[in-house]
Every structure is written in structure tokens, then in C-alpha cells.
Amino acid sequence: MEQLEPPTTAQAAALQLASRNPSWQARPVLICLSYLRWDFAWQRPHHLMSRAAAFCDVIFVEEPIILDSAAVPDFTVRDTPSGVRVACLHAPSGLPPADIARLMRGNMAQLASPDRPLLLWFCTAMGLPFASSLRSDFAVYDCMDDLQSFRGAPPELAALEDALLQRVQLVIAGGRSLFRSRQGRHPNMHLFPSSIDVAHFAPARQAGPVAAAVASLPRPRIGFFGVIDERLDVDLIAAIAARRPDWQLVMIGPTAKIDPAGLPRPPNIHWLGPVDYADLPRHLRGWDAGFMPFALSDATRHISPTKTPEFLAAGLPVVSTSVPDVVHDWGHVIGIADEPAAFVAALEAALRHGRRAGLESVDRALARSSWDRTWQQIANLIPALSTTKGSSRHV
């Protein structure tokens, strides 16, 4: 059975493990190994790690950045306003992967403190070789994406995930489909779907200033925000724009793993690039609807987009393609369509009903989760964050 909330028995086990070692009273160091850049787009690890920073010294370790062949290896650590420190290795091109891993292990060893608890948090199994020399007190695998199905996935990723599942004490899955795909492969696995910071997006429901890039566009304005990559159906976006040239399609987000030159660029599609998370409500305030034109492919089979509840918290009617987790979790409060004609019809219905339609049902759905609540439920399963701590394990 899927565990939407951690069971009390798991919490009790964590506390029992913790009580065996009083030294766990010290403030832990949490090292998060991520495939996302901290400044790229505000997503699941940003929500969780910024909340963890209230209880741990969080160091967010990015994947190495490869520079030109003349570059000198450099490991930088910088502070951010969220309280999270961000570390990154800059390495010269041509350096063998084994040497990059060796540099990462040596530098990461300096991040840990011998007299404080060390927690490892893996957002990707690719981080395992970098952390293999660290002796952690607890390790978590946040399985937030099926990275093996992404374009350009390293061939060794599946084997590394198998190894990671043998090493960590806790696995959390970021969506229902991901949970099912890994179910049975770890004895302590829990489902924590995408959540929402309602207070952050609530201002978009109220009158106020609209971002200049949006305010200058005719209405209706239909928008998307997120990473622009192979998971989007650019043909569907182009077809919607062609069928309704009077609609303005606003696309916000950085581009990854696709050539921006290949994006459709009729006059009513507006590629605005990245927008700071803090500024998103000013953009969404000026939209009339949101849309999620995801391709239906291996890369989207297991996604659980954080933007679904964010659109709804902003008061926008939403139409999405039939991504399984979106249909299961939000299909009762948003429109679902796949083909261009059906998608346009669903958007037309959303625009007719307007921003205020169905908000009572939406708010009931949103009230069931929050990032604060999700973080606290996860923390309850980690001994060091339950005020005490457990035995050391080499990861």
C-alpha cells in the first residue's frame, strides 16, 4: 500500500535508533548531492533543503562544471540567502571521470565535521562515487525523477541506483508512479509527492502589479513555467498557437538539453527565459490560464510536476496532457487533454469559466499538503532530526 504519510512505527524506530547515541544532539551537517543547479530553477530539492537549513548546516553539492582544458581545478563554496551553502567543482575538460571523482571525494571530505552528525542526501545516484569515502550517520535517497529515462542519461546510472538503494537507510519518492516503479527495492521507502507553498503563490490571486513582460501582451494570456527540455511537446505548443493566433502563450524557464533555435517562434509564443522564484506571482497574476503541454514519453511517465499545485495556488485554471501522476492527483480540478484540438477546447472552457471558478474544490485539494508539512514528515524519519541520533554507517 502506498504510504502518503510516514507511519508512526517508522518514526518510533527512528527515535529508538537515535537514543543509542547521545552525541547526536549536535547540529548535523547535511550534504545534498544534486543533478540540479541551485540557481537553475526552484524545484523540489530547493524547497526541502531551504527548510532543512533551519535544523542542519546544509551544503548543496552541484555536479562538476567542466571548463576549458587550461582551467585549474577549483572547488568553491558560497552562501545563499536561503541559508544553504552551495559547493561546486570546476574542472578542466579532458580530465578522466576517475580523476574528477577523486577530486570530488577529496574536497567533499573537507565539508564534514568529525564531531558532528553527517547526513547524506542523494537526489541522484550519480553522486554516489563522489561520496563513497564519507562516513555518514544517515543517508537518504530522494528519488525525485526517473533520471534513467532522461535524454543523455549516463549508461552506468541504473547500476549506480542499484548500489545506492543498498547503501541508504531511507528512500523517499517524489511521485506516485516513481514510488510504484521502485516499490519493493528498499525496506524503508515512502511516498512524498510534490507539495506547495500556498502563501508564496497566493498574491497572484489578488490585484497588484504585473510583470512588465506580461502586462504588455494582449489577452488572453496562457502560461507555462518550468524547465524547457525534452519533456515538453513543442509540436503541441506550436499547434495550439497556430489554432488560436489570438492567444498569447507565455513560456518561462531555462532551456536544457534541447536546442533553443529549434523552438517554435510564431509571434504569439513568448519565450521569456528564467524568472526568479520570488517574481513568479507577479507573472502568474497577469495570466488567464496555465497549461502543461508535456510530451507523453518515457521521460514523463514518472514525473510529478511541482507546478501543478503552484498554478492552482495562484488561482489559475489549468489544462495538462495526461501525465499519470497529474491525472491521478489533480485530474478532478484541472482539464486533461492530449491532441491539439482537444487541448484548445479544454483551454477555451477554462477561459470561459475564468480564474474564480472551482476555487473551493482547488483549495480543499491544496490544503492536504504543504512543503513545511512534507519536510516535517520526512524529518520525523531521520534520527538526527528527531533530536537524537543513530549509529554510523559507511556510504
Residue 314's CATH number: 3.40.50.2000
pTM of the full structure: 0.86
Is 242 found in the same domain as 181?
no
Helix (H, G, I), strand (E, B) or coil at 363: helix
Which helix (H) or strand (E) is 190 found in, with range? strand 189-191
- Write the pLDDT tens digit of every residue in 303-335: 999 999 999 999 999 999 999 999 999 999 999
- Cα distance from N-terminal residue to C-terminal residue, the chain: 29
394 located within any domain = no
Question: Within this chain, do residues 97 and 158 fall inside the same structural domain, yes or no?
Answer: yes
pLDDT of residue 134: 92
**Residue 151 has what pLDDT?**
74
- What pLDDT, on a 0 to 100 scale, did the predictor assign at position 125? 95
DSSP 299-355: TTTT---THHHHHHHTT--EEE---HHHHHHHTTTSEE--SHHHHHHHHHHHHHH-T
d(CA 47, CA 339): 33
Calpha distance 341→30 (Å, rounded)? 48
Q: Based on the domain organization, do 189 and 301 belong to the same domain?
A: no
Cα 159 from Cα 181, distance rounded (Å): 16
Same domain? 274 vs 358: yes
79 and 221 assigned to the same domain: no
Looking at the 3D structure of the chain, how many domains does it have? 2
Cβ atoms of 49 and 77 within 8 Å: the answer is no
Residues of the chain with pLDDT under 50: 1-24, 387-395
Determine the angle formed by the axes of helices 371-379 and 44-52, rounding to 10 degrees: 60
Q: Are residues 301 and 359 in the same domain?
A: yes
Domain membership of residue 186 as a residue range:
8-195+370-389
- Domain presence at residue 173: yes
Q: Assess if residue 2 is contained within a domain.
A: no
pLDDT digits (tens, 9 = 90+) for 240-285: 999 999 999 999 999 988 999 999 999 999 999 999 999 999 999 9
User: Is residue 188 domain-shared with residue 225, that is, in the same domain?
Assistant: no
Cα–Cα–Cα angle for 311, 80, 306, nearest 5°?
Answer: 20
